[in-house]
Amino acid sequence: MLSGTCGGNWSMEKENNTSEGRGGMSEVNTIPDLSQILSSEPHWTNTKYSKNMLMDALVKHLLGLMPYGMSDLGEVLEVVGHLKPGDEGRWINAWGAMAQRLQYRAEEAERADKQITASTSFLRASTYWRASLMNFSQPNDSRIGDYARASSKCYERYLELSGYPGQYVEIPYENSFLPGHFYRSPVAVDNAPLLIITPGRDTWAEDTRWVYDGAIRRGIHCLVYDGPGQGYALRLNNMTFRPDWENVVSPVIDFALTIPGIDPSRIGLMGLSFGGFLAPRAAAFEKRIKLLIADPGNISWGGSIISRLKPVSKLPRFLRPSFVDSMMKDYAWKHGVSVKEVFRILEEYDNTSVIDKITCETLVMDGTAEIIPGQAKKFFDALKCPKHYMLFDETTTSQSHCQMGGYTTATEYLFDWIDERL
Residue 24 has pLDDT above 50, yes or no: no
- Mean pLDDT for the chain overall: 91
Burial environment of residue 131 by CB neighbours within 10 A (0 to 12, 13 to 18, 19 or more): buried
Report the length, in residues, of the chain: 422
Residue 9 has pLDDT above 70, yes or no: no
Higher pLDDT, 360 or 39: 360
Residue 30 has pLDDT above 90, yes or no: no
Compute CA distances 71 → 100, 127, 137, 157, whole Å: 14, 7, 23, 16
Give the per-residue pLDDT at 37. 62
Residue 26 has pLDDT above 80, yes or no: no
What letter represents residue 231's amino acid? G
Compute CA distances 14 → 1, 33, 398, whole Å: 11, 5, 19
Residue-wise over 406-420: b if at least 16 C-beta within 10 A, else e?
bbbbbbebbbebbee
DSSP assignment letter at 32: P
CB 255 within 8 A of CB 325: no
Q: Find the Cα–Cα–Cα–Cα dihedral 273, 277, 283, 289, rounded to 10°.
A: 10
Quick one: CA dihedral 143, 148, 154, 157, positive or negative? negative
pLDDT in tens, 197-227: 999 999 999 999 999 999 999 999 999 999 9
End-to-end Cα distance, the chain: 25
| Average pLDDT estimate for 222-244 | 98
For residues 230 and 238, give the distance between their C-alpha atoms in angstroms, rounded to a whole number.
10
Burial environment of residue 358 by CB neighbours within 10 A (0 to 12, 13 to 18, 19 or more): buried
Number of other residues whose CB lies within 10 A of the CB of residue 82: 14
What letter represents residue 71's amino acid? S
pLDDT in tens, 358-371: 999 999 999 999 98
| Domain 70-164: CATH architecture, name and number where available | Up-down Bundle (1.20)
Higher pLDDT, 407 or 371: 407
Give the per-residue pLDDT at 69. 98
Neighbouring residues of 216: CB distance < 8 A, sequence distance ≥ 6? 165, 183, 184, 185, 186, 187, 188, 222
Higher pLDDT, 347 or 20: 347
**DSSP-derived 3-state class of residue 391:** strand
pLDDT in tens, 175-191: 999 999 999 999 999 99
Give the per-residue pLDDT at 59. 96
| Average pLDDT estimate for 5-15 | 37
Of 160, 178, 200, the residue nearest 256 (C-alpha):
178
385-387-390 Cα angle (round to 5): 160
Q: Which pLDDT band holds residue 113 (cuts at 50, 70, 90)?
A: very high
For residues 170 and 182, give the distance between their C-alpha atoms in angstroms, rounded to a whole number.
10
Number of other residues whose CB lies within 10 A of the CB of residue 225: 29
Burial environment of residue 325 by CB neighbours within 10 A (0 to 12, 13 to 18, 19 or more): middle
Residue 10 has pLDDT above 50, yes or no: no
Give the per-residue pLDDT at 34. 59
Give the per-residue pLDDT at 86. 85
For residues 211 and 222, give the distance between their C-alpha atoms in angstroms, rounded to a whole number.
9
CB 367 within 8 A of CB 399: yes
**DSSP-derived 3-state class of residue 125:** helix
| Average pLDDT estimate for 371-398 | 96
Compute CA distances 213 → 164, 165, 183, 221, whole Å: 10, 10, 9, 10
Give the per-residue pLDDT at 38. 60
Give the per-residue pLDDT at 149. 98
Please give the full DSSP string across 210-233, using - where no structure is assigned.
HHHHHHHTTT-EEEEE--TTSHHH
Residue 23 has pLDDT above 80, yes or no: no
Residue 231 has pLDDT above 90, yes or no: yes
Give the per-residue pLDDT at 7. 38
Residue 329 has pLDDT above 50, yes or no: yes
CB 58 within 8 A of CB 405: no
Q: Which pLDDT band holds residue 19 (cuts at 50, 70, 90)?
A: very low
Give the per-residue pLDDT at 118. 98
Instruction: State the fold for domain 1-11+165-299+351-422.
Output: Rossmann fold (3.40.50)
Please give the full DSSP string across 350-388, using - where no structure is assigned.
--TTTGGG--SEEEEEEETB-SSTTHHHHHHHH--SSEE
For residues 22 and 401, give the distance between their C-alpha atoms in angstroms, rounded to a whole number.
47
Give the per-residue pLDDT at 323. 80
Give the per-residue pLDDT at 31. 59
Q: Which pLDDT band holds residue 162 (cuts at 50, 70, 90)?
A: very high
For residues 392 and 255, give the distance between their C-alpha atoms in angstroms, rounded to a whole number.
34
- Reduce the secondary structure of 291-360 to three states and give it as a string: EEEEECCCCCHHHHHHHHHHHHHCCCCCCCCHHHHHHHHHHHHHHCCCHHHHHHHHCCCCCCCCHHHCCC
pLDDT in tens, 49-104: 998 888 999 999 999 999 999 999 999 999 999 999 889 999 999 999 999 999 99
Higher pLDDT, 279 or 10: 279
Own/partner contacts of 348-351, CB < 8 Å, gap of 24 or more, are: 348/243, 348/302, 349/243, 349/277, 349/300, 349/301, 349/302, 349/303, 350/299, 350/300, 350/301, 350/302, 350/303, 351/277, 351/280, 351/281, 351/284, 351/299, 351/300, 351/301
Domain ranges within the chain, ordered by starting residue? 1-11+165-299+351-422, 70-164
